[in-house]
Amino acid sequence: MSPFKGQTGLKRILNAAGYSLDGLRAAFQGEAAFRQLVLLNIVLIPLSFFLDVSRGERALMVAVCLLALIVELLNSAVEAAIDRISLERHPLSKNAKDMGSAAQLTALTLIATVWAVILLG
């Protein structure tokens, strides 16, 4: 067992929840893109409950919105790790950051596509 794992049981769960909240706080405070996605979610998720769609469609509309937040958190984590390793320009660092950005673009495209198919289909 790794000495870095820390506590077990309920204490571990409470610690993990605290770390998760710290991560959300850091993303919200330090990442403009995350704040913009939170705002988009604040608009779109409640809107989905006012639209005449099935429960399954609504769940999908909400899920793709939340997925974009998850992708942005992972993208920000990749960028932070790359920057921690080195601030020097390197092709592999650029590729990693560009791929994270592409993942976020794909997630945003997914939101637009799912919402369009449900609302216009």
Catalytic residue numbers read 72
Structure tokens at 108: 């945003």
Start-end of H helices in the chain: 9-30, 32-48, 55-85, 91-120
Closest Cα partner for 107 from 58, 69, 56? 69
Amino acid at 9: G
Distance CA 60, CA 24 (A): 23
For residue 70, give Cα distances in angstroms to 7, 19, 92.
Answer: 26, 15, 23
